Structure 1
Amino acid sequence: MAALPERPDTPCVAVCSTTFDDVCRGCGRTYIEVARWVAMSAEEKEVVWRRILAEGYPRRN
């Protein structure tokens, strides 16, 4: 298996909005991904990273 790219520990940019939204407007993760992040494997996190980067996240306001 190829090595995973170096990434920050979390895509969080401290612009959280998961209280009323299904997807955080800051990092692009779903509220379930945010809640599970610390328990996810590196491969699971990489899947999320690739999706949010393709969608233009993380965003800083």
Structure 2
Amino acid sequence: MQKPNRPDTPCVAVCSTTFDEICRGCGRTVDEVAQWVFMSDEEKERIWVRITSQGYPRRNT
């Protein structure tokens, strides 16, 4: 199965975790954002699947 063509990161430069631990721009948790560069491709793909199913990333929050 071919992996989807994705950017290196889901970040859309709309960073806000004001109301909870989830970024309103990319949908990742604070920990996922901090650990992103250390994650395996498989870990990143699991996060991509979750956040896209939830409607992230979003530029207009």
TM-score (norm 2): 0.88
Q: Which runs of 5+ in 2 are unaligned?
A: none
Give unmatched runs, 5+ long, in structure 1.
none
Q: How does 1:35-54 map to 2 (within 5 A)?
A: 35-54=34-53
The Cα shift of 1:6 comes to 1.9
**Structure 2 CA distance for aligned equivalents of residues 34 and 18 of structure 1:** 11
Residue identity over aligned pairs, in percent, reads 72
RMSD: 1.3
Name the TM-score, length of structure 1 as normaliser.
0.88
For 2:54, the equivalent position in structure 1 comes to 55
Pair 1:18 & 2:17 matched: yes
Q: 1: CA distance between counterparts of 2:2 and 2:43?
A: 14
